[in-house]
Every structure is written in C-alpha cells, then in structure tokens.
Amino acid sequence: MKYLSEYRDPALAQALVRRIRRTATRTWCLMEVCGGQTHTIVKQGLNEVLDGAVEMIHGPGCPVCVTPLEQIDRALALAADPRVIFTSFGDMLRVPGSECDLFAIRARGGQVRIVYSPLDALELARQNPDKEVVFFAVGFETTAPANAMAVWRARELGVRNFSVLVSHVTVPPAITAIMEDPDNRVQGFLAAGHVCTVMGWEEYIPLAERYRVPIVVTGFEPLDILEGIWMAVRQLEEGRHEVENQYVRSVKREGNRAAQALVERVFRVVDRTWRGVGTIPASGLGLRDEFAAFDAEKKFDLLHITATEPAECRAGDVLKGRLKPFECPAFGARCTPSTPLGAPMVSSEGACAAYYNFGRFHEAATQEATP
C-alpha cells in the first residue's frame, strides 16, 4: 500500500534519529496532540530511542478520552431508553460512565449499535420510523464535517426521528489551555495531520507567535513523526517559532474549505467540558439553533444529568501531560483495559492504553501498586 511501507523504513528511521540527536543540544519537551501519534510513538519505541534529546509529552488529542463523564452518562441514559436505538462508533462502547458502559447497557437489552458513519445512523432512522435513533457525535474537527452532513441531510429529508448527542471539541483552544497552565513544560507541538487536513494550519500561526513555540503539522507513521520532531527541534535550536507542515501529502495551508463551510453552517462555537481537564472556553462545537430539533440533549431533556470524575482516575493529569500513564498509582493494577477507571485506558487512541499494550512499564507498575 502506498504511503505505508515507505513511511516505516527502519534505515530511514535510524537516520532521522541520528539527525535529531545531532541537532539537539539539550533535552526538548514536545507534545504530540493526537492520540494516534501517541500510539505510534509508544508502539515503535520512538520516545525511548530519543531519550536525552527529546521528551515526548502526550497531549489531550484523543476525542474519546476527553469526552466528559457527564456526556457518557447522558449516552447511557439514552441507550437504556426503550424508545431509542443508540448508535456510535465502536471506540465509545467501552468508555466507563459513572456506573457502567454502553456494552453493559446492550447486554441488558438496550438497542446499542455500532455504525461506521453518521449517515449509517441516519439511514437506520429512515428504516425505523417508530424508533428514535441517536448518533453519538464525538470527535475533533476531523469528524465534524461528516456529522454536520448527517444533520443537514436529516433536515433535507425530513427525518424527525434522528438526533445527535454532540461532544465535539477543537484543538487550538486546547493548545491555549496547555500553554497557559502554570505547570506547563511544553516547548513545541506536533499538530494532528488529520485535523489540519480539514482545517488547514492558518489558525495555528497566532498561537505559535503568541506563545513562541514551534508547531509542526505531522502525520502518523514513524517517519512522519520523526521528521516532525526533527523540524520542531531544529526550530527550537535556531530560536524560531513558526508553523511548518510535515504532512504535505495530505494537508494544505487553507485546508478543506467546503468541509469548513458545512461545519460552520451546522455548528457554532461553544464552551466545552473536557474529561479530567475541566471547561475550556470556546473549545467545542454545538448545533446551531436552527438545528435544535436534532439536538438529543434538548430533545430528551438531558442537561440535568451531571457527574463527578472519580478521584482515583488521574486521566486529567495524563491528558495535560503532567503525568505519564505508568506514573499513575492505579495503572496496570486497579485500572486495566478490562477494569478501566477512565477512557484513556480503553480508547484506541488513549495514552494509558498505548503504554499498557505496547510499553514496558505496566508490569513494574502492577508490582509496585499491588499490596
């Protein structure tokens, strides 16, 4: 497959590692925003081969992980409603709510179905006019166009038994929150290539200038990430703070204007709560008033459902880069993929899942945490 084996070449990877080490005169702290990049970094051991030159801090770029507990509880309430067919991408079904997850609701008889597109959920609503079909609209700017299209089409087709439970978040406000955190150690960012494929990278220019940090738009294969790291380190060593694009095979400066226009027509910017992090102003997307009929929170009166994060789960510290997953006392002991305390342990892009599945730390952490 083109752009797969070419970007996993061991010899080229070793050459990039040597280049990074030659360039770095000190240890630089970089944050990869995307959870997909985190999994590549940990699985391929990139954080280990760069030890001493670069410390990778894992950011809040997993949309499943940052979906707040109260939103999961709202999803559980909908899934348990006999009037509802609740649809979602598969990675949301294991995310723990206050009492259980969506798999447990399905085991009890709830109509929970995995779909591969929000348009599949819309078609399900057309096929089942006697049921309310709800799609769990989670994600960064990457998934927002498809979700916007589903809502737009539902209105065009007059499908009134379709709605979306929206939990969209956006990247730039998260970078702002990280840089303004008094405990921040991040000196440069690898921006998520798939987000920038939609949004472009112009919105990162003011952030790079304001906080004097390099931001490199980066892909997801090992060579993508190593080249992105080298570009960020080179900027830091030269005293520059610019936005550069490593992921040139997918990302254009302006992004996808048609997708952006659709998102803007259907969604508006709102404050959003991030799991374990708290509320970040103007960091999310919500449906515009003209699409309120398709807003599951309003349609089913869910706003009264609130939740408190479990104190034992340190997901917030992991998502803000304050804590490596294996440094959490519960990691690998009371928190495992089969008994998760938080979403980062079960998400396919979660940092805790990456360290548990690919890292070499969970055995030691388990031994230390076990009485």
**What is the tens place of the pLDDT at every residue in 5-18?**
888 999 999 999 99
The whole-number pLDDT of residue 360 equals 56
Mean pLDDT to the nearest integer, 21-45: 95
Looking at residue 284, its amino acid is: G
d(CA 348, CA 39): 8
The counts of H helices and E strands in the chain are 17, 11
| Helices (H), ranges, the chain | 10-23, 35-43, 46-49, 63-66, 69-79, 102-107, 118-127, 144-157, 171-179, 193-199, 205-211, 222-238, 257-266, 296-299, 315-319, 351-358, 362-369
**What is the tens place of the pLDDT at every residue in 264-298?**
999 999 999 998 788 999 999 999 999 999 999 99
Looking at residue 132, its amino acid is: E
The whole-number pLDDT of residue 321 equals 84
Asked if residue 152 has pLDDT above 80, the reply is yes
**What is the tens place of the pLDDT at every residue in 70-126?**
999 999 999 999 999 999 999 899 999 999 999 999 999 999 999 999 999 999 999
Domains 5-63+174-245 and 67-170+255-299 agree in fold = yes
Among the listed residues 359, 355, 348, the one whose alpha carbon sits nearest the alpha carbon of residue 65: 348
Mean pLDDT to the nearest integer, 29-51: 94
Mean pLDDT to the nearest integer, 311-340: 89
On whether the 67-170+255-299 domain is CATH 1.10.443.10, my answer is no
Tell me the CATH number for domain 5-63+174-245.
3.40.50.11750
| Average pLDDT score, the chain | 93
**Single pTM value for the model:** 0.92
d(CA 271, CA 280): 6
CB 143 within 8 A of CB 117: no
Cβ count within 10 A of residue 243: 23
- 348 pLDDT band, cuts 50/70/90, is confident
CB 58 within 8 A of CB 351: yes
CB 340 within 8 A of CB 100: no
- 61 pLDDT band, cuts 50/70/90, is confident
Mean pLDDT to the nearest integer, 351-370: 66
List Cβ neighbours of 211 (8 Å cut-off, separation of 6 or more). Answer: 175, 179, 241
Asked if residue 161 has pLDDT above 90, the reply is yes
DSSP H or E stretch at residue 58: strand 54-58
Q: What is the helix, strand, coil percentage profile of the chain, to 5?
A: 45, 20, 35
**pLDDT > 90 in the chain, percent:** 83
Domain ranges of the chain: 5-63+174-245, 67-170+255-299, 315-369
List Cβ neighbours of 123 (8 Å cut-off, separation of 6 or more). Answer: none
The whole-number pLDDT of residue 3 equals 66
Cβ count within 10 A of residue 249: 11
